[in-house]
Structure 1
Amino acid sequence: MTNSKPNQHNVSEGEDTSLRSLSSEDVSQAPRGYCCAKSNNPADGRGRKLHLFQMLSLPFIPIFALIVQTSFLLNTIMNTRHEVMEIESQVTKAEDLGKVVTRLQLERFDVAFYVYTESHHQRTNVTKRFQLTDDALQNMSSWPLVSLIRDGKIVYLNKTTFQENLKEFRENLSKNETKMNDVLNWYTAVNAAMLEHLTSEIKETDNSGVWRFLLSFKNLLKSIENIGISSVYGVNYFGKGKLRSEYYEKFIRHDAIAKDLLNTSLNYVVKMRSDYEQFSRSMPNYGKIKYQTDIIIQNKNRTPNYNESLVYFEAIAGYTDELRRLQRDLRITIREYVDENLQEAASREAIGIATLVGVLAVSPVIIWLVRNAVATIQLYAANLAKKAKELKREKKKSDFLLFQMLPPSVATQLKQTRQVPAEYYASVTIYFSDIVGFTEIAAVSTPLEVVTFLNKIYKLFDARIECYDVYKVETIGDSYMVASGLPVKNGNKHVTEIASMALDLLAGSTQFKIPHRKSERLQIRSGAHTGPVVAGIVGSKMPRYCLFGDTVNTASRMESTGEASKIHISLEMKKALDSIGGYRTEHRGLVEVKGKGLLDTYWLTCKEGGMNRTVEMETPAYFQEDEDNEPVFIKRLRSDTYY
């Protein structure tokens, strides 16, 4: 026998789903694990203080988060500004170093020309060029690690020793003790050390984006450096008519490096490419430089021509002067870019500080406003809680009565959607019973005795069907109608549920004594049938859950054509029981059924392997009655203390 209580379970579930409102009383009675689990009513007493604290904490959390976020943002802005200031220092060092490298390149150019012409010609005043280089060296804020090779050893020079060596080198020039190769090697080594230091000073991953300009600046310096080196070998070619293989190799290498570095520099800064293309179109000797460079690359023997070497030298000098003009413009662009970043960082820092001060100033005002709002809400909540409690009490009354009249699932759906469409059930089992001789008993009894009699027998039946997955459809007079398999489908269990229930009700009825006729025993006539039905809500006033279909009529005919203290079942139900097993039946034979003709029917006798229950079950408390025969659940509806 199934020991489930679906009706009670569904009633409680229906109550939960039907009550959509939440009052302060609900919160104060919340189970463990809720935020107000210690019965603190937010509308009164200690709970009110706790609720006030929670509501004040609510705006404080985002305010605190905003303060923390603003502080972190301000810290980030200050770090960014610090980085930009470091970049400014880096740019200053790069500019100073770039000026020195440029001065040394120009000095090398003029000294090479001076040495090549054997002190007969000066492209510019060499003494003045020396002074410009010395001024650039004097203005340097930091000094790189410069290393030179002397007598096969590496010698590291500080600023003072470097200036002394530079002075000594220049004095040798005036004594005509320096050759072209020595000039080239000296300045190349010095500039290489300077450019190496410049490369190490430039950070390629700073957040400002100035690294692109610095790399372009560095590559342009290196390109000019390699152009200057290659031009010395070019002058040598035109002056001597042939380059030795080692000099030719150096010319090719430095010329290729210069072009590659120049192209890289122009790619980093787009504006420089347009400026370069403009001056290359306007420069008179630009095409001649390319032509003479191609001649040098071929390295064919030719007649030495002193004038042609001078023309080449002047053309290269003009070209490098234009590149240095681009370099100066780039230096100005870098300075403007850094200044703009500094101004932006300062502005962001000021905005961050103002935001933080504003948040700190507004926070107390917000908390004070929230406190006033919460106090007003709590006052309103106290009144609302009282009304909600009254509403909840009335709602429970109406829900309790509704679930007595309709299946809980159907009642819940009716409340939520205001309509319950009829539903077809392919297989359910319906049970009918009535009291044998009820008409005679009612004829010799008072109305109060009849009501008392029916109340007691139906309480017994109602208590027993609670143990089965069935639904009590209705009672009309002495007729008792029960169905299984609806409104919640249960597979093929409906057959066994009705069979077990029918045997249980029959066993219980044999022990029942008629209250006002103690000598007489109750006899019921039962019938059941299995088949399809359609179920739905009928009516808008006092709606009822009704079943329709031939199955209902057949089950009713099984009861009306049955016999006292027996359970009359149809062939369909007998086959369903046989497929499941566990029940005994007896063949009754063909019975004339009104509207159906002859039907082959059976008696349901008992369960296999067990005895039927013959003792009375304890009647649930909510069906007990007092002296005035009023059911207890009616008294509960009238009592406010129950809620």
Structure 2
Amino acid sequence: MQEKSVQNGNSTYEMTTNPGIKFPKEEDSLSEMSRNSEDRSRGPGGLCCADAGNPAYKRGRRFQLTQMIVLPFIPILALIVQTAMSLQYLLEYRNDIEDVETQVQIATDLGKFVTQMQLERSEVAFFVFTNKSSQPLRSNISEQFAMTNQTLEKMITWPPIRLPQNRQLLDKKEEFITHLCNFRQKISSEESTVQEVLAWYTSVNAAMLDHLTTRIKETDNSGVWRYLLAFKNILRSIENMGIALTYGISYYGRGQLSTSNYISYVRHESLGSDLLNASLNYALNIKELHSKLIRNLSDYEKIQQRSEEILRNQKRNASIEDAMMYTDSLTSYIDELRKLQYKLRVEIKRYVDRDLKEAANKEAIGIAILITVLVISPVIIILVRNAVATIQMYAANLADKARELNKEKKKSDALLFQMLPTSVAQQLKQMQQVPAEYYEAVTVYFCDIVGFTEIAAISTPLEVVSFLNSIYKLFDARIECYDVYKVESSGDSYMVASGLPVKNGNKHVTEIATMALDLLAGSSVLKVPHRGNETLQIRSGCHTGPVVAGIVGTKMPRYCLYGDTVNTASRMESTGEAQRVHISLEMKRALDEAGGFKTEHRGLVYVKGKGEMDTYWLTCKDGGLPKRPDPPAYDDAQPQYMKRFMEGYHSK
């Protein structure tokens, strides 16, 4: 509970006035520590144990030398192993990068071939849709066939392709070339339809793109995967745009699309846009180039308008001229995308070259580190051997100092916990700001000694301090039993609060009420010095209300309470009577709500700064107070801290 930790701290703070607190005899403990350190190497076994660990003996020196050589060698060996493993990892990393370079080259060849197949499909589709027109789209079909063949011959690997007509699997490049030539003959002889042309070229490109995707998945352990995905998506985007282009040519060349062709156009046009956006998100530098391309391309708005016209699919007059204009504008845009594709391919090559260079540098650094470790390992062992001797000399002294420091730290912490609440002190130790906190309901208690001025006048200062020490020892012991916090004790004034710094609901009222009755009962058995058998009389006052609590000051900081509640509680005490507990109307209502206490109406009392207030006497608690032993008689003529002070003074 909060009050226990705080009050335990109080007992430490009051160490100068509380004889019940005992400190370890530091001189004795330190001297004992010194004696133990002198015999640290000696055990019950006699000289055998001493020889094994004491460097004063030859056997001990040999043992220490072995330790100095073996112990540093363990981390050095671990460092050598770690460096060797790192070097092995770097070699594997370089091999992986070289594999990536090979796979990127394969992907580049596939991309070039797919590009040529897309261009060939556009020329063939225009040729078929315009009813075998002799006017080519952009170049002669034979020239395009030759360019495709040239790209095909340069391919290093060949993925298996299944043709759409007979589902035949072509796993060799020569077989594919044969079927490609046969298909071209059918186009020239007017034996193929538009659907056959699209299906044949689309299936070939799809097989190539699937193989390209597989290659990219195999390289996902490097950082080039984003660029490869962007490269693949641009290829697929151009592929879908090319297919959509063929349907657009059909729309302008024939006047309207059939339902199946219209659905195919919408699907491929949407896929082309989505794949292009995906690739731009993977490669942000290409995204900037694409934005610049759109701004500089004069036909881009016309392309969008013609796409919207095709999406409406309204019947119109067939026009070869419109088909050529549409094809020219969209093909120009696709050519610009191919330029982006080429720049992306260059970026991929640059990225792979950079990784290869970085891997080579890391490999060289790893080899250099391994050689350095092997060279300096003996030097480290020699230096450690020389350093251990010095370290051992200071180690024992440092351990003793650390223990002394820890003891002093505990003392200072105990003193801090006495001066401040535990939660607040912990925040201050952690260099945290401790803001003032508002408490909506707190009960504050004040009491002072009746006739203290007269008692002090006829007593020596030492007797006054001893008298107050006896009283506050009793009060401190009694409030340990309650959920309260001792705010301060100044002169004969004693201030206690409940409900802070840890809130306890409505419990604060009953805790203060019970404590006030307990202190009243306990003080009645104390004797007043120089007045025979006259007993101590105290005047008490309590009030319940809101307060603000916080740390005040930087020199000797204190946990203080502020608010009208504190002033009212002080006025309740000053306007009260001896051996009675004076409470306000607010506290009386809180006690009535809690139950278990009896009060007596006092009437209206003029309170300075407040006017007339209706107040009450707290008379007793139902069931009575717990039985406590009577405090010892007043015989503490000299507080404990004075005894220590005088002993220290005389010993000088």
Output the CA distance in 2 between the equivalents of 1:244 and 1:42. 102
- Looking at structure 2, the residues matched to 49 and 38 of structure 1 have their Cα atoms a distance apart, in angstroms, of 10
**Which of 223, 228, 245 is equivalent to 1:214?**
228
Aligned to 1:256, which of 264, 270, 289? 270
Tell whether 2:177 aligns with 1:163.
yes
Partner of 2:347: 333
The letter for the 2-side match of 1:222 is: R
Q: Return closer, same or farther for 1:41/1:541 CA change in 2, 3 Å cut-off.
A: farther
SS in 1 for 2:169: strand
Could you list the per-position Cα deviations for residues 373-424 of structure 1 after superposition, in whole angstroms to 9, with x for gaps in the alignment? 55x659x96xx99xx9xxx9xxxxxxxxxxxxxxxxxxx99xx99xxxx996
In structure 1, what is the equivalent of residue 298 of structure 2? 284
Q: Number of aligned pairs?
A: 399
1:321 aligns with 2:321: no
Q: Aligned partner of 2:283: which letter?
A: V
Once residues 12 and 21 of structure 1 are traced to their aligned partners in structure 2, the CA distance between those partners, rounded to angstroms, is: 14
Say whether 1:99 aligns with 2:112.
yes
2:312 aligned with 1:298: yes
Aligned to 1:67: 80
Counterpart residue number, 2:149: 134
Matched, 1:85 2:121: no
Equivalent position of 1:613 in the other structure: none
Q: Is the 8 A contact 1:204 1:211 kept in 2?
A: no
Structure 2 counterpart of 1:177, which letter? E
CA contact (8 A) 1:210 1:334 kept: yes
Equivalent position amino acid for 1:169 in 2:
F
Are residue 268 (structure 1) and residue 252 (structure 2) matched? no
Write the mapping of 1:532-551 to structure 2, written as runs, cut at 5 A: 533=636, 534-535=639-640, 536-537=643-644, 538-540=646-648, 543=651
TM-aligned CA distance change 1:319 to 1:370, over 3 Å: same
1:149 maps to which residue?
164
Q: C-alpha distance in 2, partners of 1:309/1:377?
A: 93
Q: Distance in 2 between matches of 1:31 and 1:116?
A: 108
Q: Which moved more, 1:197-206 or 1:183-192?
A: 197-206
Greater RCO structure (CA 8 Å; 6+ sep) = 2
SS in 1 for 2:53: coil
Structure 1 residues 39, 368: CA separation in 2 closer, same or farther (over 3 Å shift)?
closer
The 3 A distance-change label for structure 1 pair 154 and 22 is farther
1:85-122 deviations in Å (ceiling 9; x for gaps):
22212211110110111111111111222223314122
Measured in 2, the distance between the counterparts of 1:532 and 1:121 equals 129
DSSP-derived class of the 2:162 partner: strand
Structure 1 contact 31–37 (Cα < 8 Å) conserved? no
Kindly provide the amino acid, as one letter, of the partner of residue 180 in structure 1: V
* Aligned-pair CA distance for 1:19: 4.1
Tell me how far apart the structure 1 counterparts of residues 26 and 274 of structure 2 sit (CA, whole Å). Answer: 82
Q: After superposition, where does 1:15-414 map in structure 2 within 5 Å?
A: 15-21=28-34, 25-30=38-43, 40-117=53-130, 118-122=132-136, 123-151=138-166, 153=167, 155-203=169-217, 206-373=220-387, 377=390
Aligned-partner Cα distance in 2 for 1:22–1:275: 82
Kindly indicate whether the alpha-carbon contact (under 8 Å) linking 1:27 and 1:39 is maintained by their aligned counterparts in 2.
no
Give 1:201 shift: 1.2
Percent of aligned pairs sharing the same letter: 43
How far residue 541 of structure 1 moved from its aligned partner, in angstroms, is 7.6
Aligned counterparts of 1:193 and 1:313: Cα–Cα separation in 2: 26
Counterpart of 1:113 in 2: which secondary structure? helix
Q: Distance in 1 between matches of 2:142 and 2:35?
A: 97
The alpha carbon displacement at 1:25 in A equals 4.9
Matching residue's letter, 2:172: N
Greater C-alpha Rg: 1
Q: Which runs of 5+ in 2 are unaligned?
A: 1-22, 401-406, 413-464, 475-631
The DSSP-based 3-state class of the residue aligned with 2:363 is helix
Q: Check the 8 A contact 2:52/2:63 in 1, yes or no.
A: no
SS in 2 for 1:95: helix
**Which deviates more, 215-224 or 268-277?**
268-277
Asked whether the 8 Å contact 1:252–1:297 carries over to 2, the reply is: yes
**In structure 2, what residue type is equivalent to 1:172?**
K
Note if contact 1:222-1:258 (Cα within 8 Å) is conserved in structure 2. yes
Deviations 1:214-234 (Å, cap 9, x if unpaired)?
A: 000000000000000001010
For the 8 Å contact 1:208–1:341, the answer to whether it is kept is no
CA contact (8 A) 1:74 1:353 kept: yes
Instruction: Give yes or no for contact 1:204–1:212 (8 Å, CA) kept in 2.
Output: no
Once the two structures are TM-superposed, the CA of residue 205 in structure 1 deviates from its matched residue by 7.7
CA distance in 1, matches of 2:242, 2:344: 20
1:24–1:42 CA contact under 8 A, matched in 2: no
Instruction: Tell me how far apart the structure 1 counterparts of residues 44 and 163 of structure 2 sit (CA, whole Å).
Output: 86
CA distance in 1, matches of 2:62, 2:81: 28
1:154 positional shift = 5.3
One-letter amino acid of the structure 1 residue matched with residue 92 of structure 2 = N
Distance in 2 separating the partners of 1:183 and 1:224: 17
TM-score when normalising by structure 2: 0.56
1:149–1:155 Cα contact (<8 Å) kept? no
> Structure 1 regions of 5+ residues with no counterpart?
1-9, 393-411, 428-528, 545-643
Q: CA deviation at 1:135?
A: 2.1
> Shift of the alpha carbon at 1:60?
2.2
